[in-house]
Amino acid sequence: MSVVRGYNFAYLDEQTKRMIRRGLLKAVAVPGYQVPFGSREMPLPYGWGTGGIQVTASVIGPDDVLKVIDQGADDTTNAVSIRRFFARVAGVATTERTTEATLIQTRHRIPETPLAEGQILVYQVPIPEPLRWVEPRETETRKMHALTEYGVMHVKLYEDITRHGRIATSFNYPVLVNGRYVMSPSPIPKFDNPKMHRMPALQLFGAGREKRLYAVPPHTRVESLDFEDHPFEVQTWDDVCALCGADDSYLDEVIVDDQGGRMFVCSDSDYCRQRRDAGHAGHGGPSDLETVERGTP
Amino acid sequence: MTEPIISVRGLRKAFILHNQGGVVLRVLNGIDLDVAAGECLVLHGPSGAGKSTLLRTLYANYLPQAGEIRIRHDGGWVDMVTAPPHRVLDVRRRTLGWVSQFLRVVPRVAAIDVVAEPLRTLGVAPDAARDRAAGLLARLRIPERLWSLAPSTFSGGEQQRVNLAHSFVHPYPVLLLDEPTASLDAANRETVIGLIDEARARGAAVVGIFHDAEVRRRVGTRVLEMREPAGGEVAA
Amino acid sequence: MTAETNRPLLRAEGVSKFYGRHVGCRDVSFELHPGEVLGIVGESGSGKTTLLNCLSAQLEPTAGHVLYDTRADGLTDVYRMSEAARRLLMRSDWGLVRQNPRDGLRMGVSAGANVGERLMAVGARHYGNIRSEATDWLSRVEIDADRVDDPPATFSGGMQQRVQLARNLVTRPRLVFMDEPTGGLDVSVQARLLDLLRGLVNDLGLSAVVVTHDLAVTRLLAHRLMVMKGGAVVETGLTDQVLDDPQHPYSQLLVSSILQP
């Protein structure tokens, strides 16, 4: 893909990148702490990953290999657009393979393939403040973080158990980072929460509209909040992936025809393809696998 | 005379009615009195002589302008005029019992709980407190079917007996009685006389206003004659 | 009298709050001892709520000090504590019952969660234990166990006020501030709440500062009374003394203005 002329490398000017990198350094130094930053206008609307893109633009170098996923898939509109964006404004190599990527920008998932040291995972975050549901005032939530007043987070989980008999929160499940800050993991399924714990890769979070950065450095403790008698649990499925037969990956339910036919497939398209390339197969689905619709934002 | 339990010196009380042209009513003009254990001092005099005012001032319900009211409490003296509020309340809780003519209670509380309350504030367990309350209610002839009802629905005489039970449920070392036998029938009057005699027998000091001459004669050991304007002198 | 009651739990020293030239409250001093209930009465605008806010660490006075007998350090100026210590104090050793239960409750979460919140805030992490303790406290304020999972939004005003009480008492505070706790309730509901409050104050040995314009409430609940007018305390004394033998012209007017049913 040809690099467009007239833009600085990776779109943002160097001053802005420096500002964001300084914010990220602080975020890494204080794991889970939300660092305010001067979010720039990006050539796409808020809600489409403006925070993640600014983080990616600030840390990406010419030798990086970029992967972008949306709900686990490389081939959705949003993922394709962001990948093309960086290919055009930075001229970097892109990939759909988790293992080949040095930098992965994600919306709503963590790849199934374990990440390694040296890799960076950039999350797009809509609402960075985990206490926002209970406290609309920013001054007050900052104080609550400063004084580790996190009792209300358990009120939410308590209420879940009271209403549903179990903790029903399944996305954006709050975590405690390094035993200090309660953090929103972004709207990933809680299935992915355990992957954050002591992850060898660096995890960076960007919220464009809310103008916040935060980070989890490699090998950091990340614990999901729970009760002693209702411990944290991830989702499980009775089925396996219809395409690759995986029983250890996060499955999406997809509608396959107009008659209400449905099946479960891996949300992580790269992981699913790797398994199929290695000869694994599921119990089958529609004949034309590529017509399976995937979630778009 | 043995060491007194109540000792009053130079007690003066006037009412200044600010909202009625600043009228000053001088009611107590230098009262001195002592009451020892086992005594019952009767306040006697015409209406308006300040009997009730004196009794209320002793209880710290009215604020005197001058003088001291010393009460034996915890082996020491407490001056009800100058003691800090929590001290006065402690004297009331443990030493100084009071029977007024009117019952003032939280609406909708059962009679037996009204009577048990002084014991509850002293930390007596609920069951034990209710047992003692029940004993007194029975002795004062309140029918058992009324015990669980709020006294606000009772007749005047019944309310007065609940009030008496409330005041006699704890063996206070000092009792202040304002017309305890008013509106009682003969049988209940006898019971109250018995209660007062028992209190004196266990060493309580009693000060009271008794409208009924016979009650006055039977329970009183001394009389304080009060005249208008009250100066007060102790008669044997 | 036991030795500990000789030390005040709360002491106000010359507490004043000015809003520019307007006086909120002026030069208020008193001591509150363990187990005591202090009533603050006065008409609207007399400064009683301003004073309550100053005392309860919600509004820093312009002048003067508010000292509290903390479990760790004894009498301490609440406005000189670290903010962390002050906030911890407010949600463990103190309670605050607001006139409108909506201001003191989370109306959308269950009564059990409302009561359990303070336990979770001080580290409780066992759902079953939190829920059973919440149920226990709700029953102490006469709310049936089968309502523990219902949100206060579905309760009557009197019930909401009782949930607010339970929510405050669950950490066994030593001092509770109440702003018109029976205001806005039906008379029959008021009586029940008053009786409950009296019982709890007695059984738990609570101290309380109660702001009200209802003198009948103070007669039944407060040991002592402070009468406020124009931001200043014009009279203070035992409740029955202030009500039966008021000294200040304003107190006399206030007492003589009550309707006697």
Nearest Cα of chain C lies from the Cα of A178 at a distance, in angstroms, of: 17
DSSP state of A127: -
The verdict on ipTM greater than 0.85 is yes
**Side chain identity at residue A284, one-letter code:** G
CA A204 to chain centre: 9
pLDDT tier for residue C259 given thresholds of 50, 70 and 90: low
Round the average pLDDT of chain A to a whole number and report it. Answer: 92
Give the pLDDT score at B73: 95
Give the pLDDT score at B145: 94
Is the predicted pLDDT of residue A25 greater than 80, yes or no? yes
Residue B84 tokens read as: 């800090």
C191 in contact with B, Cβ within 8 Å: yes
Q: Under DSSP, is residue A201 helix (H, G, I), strand (E, B) or coil?
A: coil
Round the average pLDDT of chain C to a whole number and report it. Answer: 91
Q: Are A151 and C122 inside 8 Å of each other by CB?
A: yes
Question: What is the tally of helices (H) and strands (E) in chain A?
Answer: 7, 12
Q: Do chains B and C touch (3 or more CB pairs under 8 A)?
A: yes
Catalytic residue IDs of A? 32, 241, 244, 266, 272
CA-to-CA distance for C47 and C53, rounded, in angstroms? 10
Q: List, for residues B217-232, the tens digit of each pLDDT value.
A: 999 999 999 987 644 4
Q: List, for residues C208-226, the tens digit of each pLDDT value.
A: 999 998 888 898 899 999 9
How would you list the strands of the sheet with A175-177, edge to edge? A181-183, A175-177, A222-224
Percent of chain A with pLDDT over 90: 85
Task: Give me the half-sphere count of Cα atoms (radius 13 Å) on the Cβ side of residue C191.
Answer: 10
CA-to-CA distance for C5 and C9, rounded, in angstroms? 8
CA-to-CA distance for A148 and A142, rounded, in angstroms? 10
Give the pLDDT score at A29: 98
Q: List, for residues C111-168, the tens digit of each pLDDT value.
A: 999 999 999 998 999 999 999 999 999 998 889 999 999 999 999 998 999 999 999 9
The CA-based dihedral angle spanning residues A193, A195, A196, A202, taken in that order and rounded to the nearest 10 degrees: -150
Of B135, B45, B44, B60, the closest CA to residue B96 belongs to B60
Give the pLDDT score at B230: 44
C249 in contact with B, Cβ within 8 Å: yes
Q: List, for residues A198-237, the tens digit of each pLDDT value.
A: 999 999 999 999 999 999 999 999 999 999 999 999 999 9
Average pLDDT value for residue range B76-80 = 95
Q: List, for residues A30-62, the tens digit of each pLDDT value.
A: 999 999 999 999 988 888 899 999 999 999 999
Under 8 Å CB-to-CB from C113, ≥6 apart: which residues? A155, A158, A159, A162, C106, C134
Is the predicted pLDDT of residue B44 greater than 90, yes or no? yes
Q: Position of tokens 């230098």?
A: B30
More confident residue, A294 or A249: A249
Phi, psi (rounded to 5 degrees) for A151? -55, -35
- Nearest chain A residue (CA) to C106: A134
Nearest Cα of chain C lies from the Cα of B179 at a distance, in angstroms, of: 18
Are A23 and A37 in contact, with CB atoms under 8 Å apart? yes
Q: List, for residues C25-47, the tens digit of each pLDDT value.
A: 999 999 999 989 999 999 888 99
Are A235 and A250 in contact, with CB atoms under 8 Å apart? yes
Indicate the pTM of the whole model: 0.86
Q: List, for residues B50-67, the tens digit of each pLDDT value.
A: 999 999 999 999 999 999
Are B39 and B219 in contact, with CB atoms under 8 Å apart? no
Average pLDDT value for residue range C93-98 = 94
Give the pLDDT score at C131: 96
Give the pLDDT score at A295: 42
Chain A residues with CB-CB distance to C85 below 8 A: none
Average pLDDT value for residue range C57-72 = 95
Is the predicted pLDDT of residue A289 greater than 70, yes or no? no
Alpha-carbon dihedral sign for residues B53, B58, B63, B69: positive
Is the predicted pLDDT of residue B1 greater than 80, yes or no? no
Percent of chain B with pLDDT over 90: 73
More confident residue, A13 or C196: A13
Q: List, for residues C159-205, the tens digit of each pLDDT value.
A: 999 999 999 999 999 999 999 988 878 877 888 888 888 888 888 88
Q: Are C87 and A227 inside 8 Å of each other by CB?
A: no
Average pLDDT value for residue range B185-193 = 93
Write a three-state SS string for chain B.
CCCEEEEEEEEEEEEEEHHHCCEEEEEEEEEEEEEECCCEEEEECCCCCCHHHHHHHHCCCCCCCEEEEEEEECCEEEECCCCCHHHHHHHHHHCEEEECCCCCCCCCCCHHHHHHHHHHHCCCCHHHHHHHHHHHHHHCCCCHHHCCCCHHHCCHHHHHHHHHHHHHCCCCCEEEEECCCCCCCHHHHHHHHHHHHHHHHCCCEEEEECCCHHHHHHHCCEEEECCCCECCEEEC
Average pLDDT value for residue range A157-163 = 94
Residue C140 CB neighbour total at 10 angstroms: 18
Q: Which of residues 90-119 of B touch C (CB under 8 A)?
A: 90, 104-109
Q: Are C191 and B107 inside 8 Å of each other by CB?
A: yes
Q: CB-CB: which of C195, C223, C245 is closest to B89?
A: C223
Are A56 and A105 in contact, with CB atoms under 8 Å apart? yes
DSSP state of A12: S
Residue C106 tokens read as: 């989370």
Of B174, B176, B136, B173, the closest CA to residue B43 belongs to B176
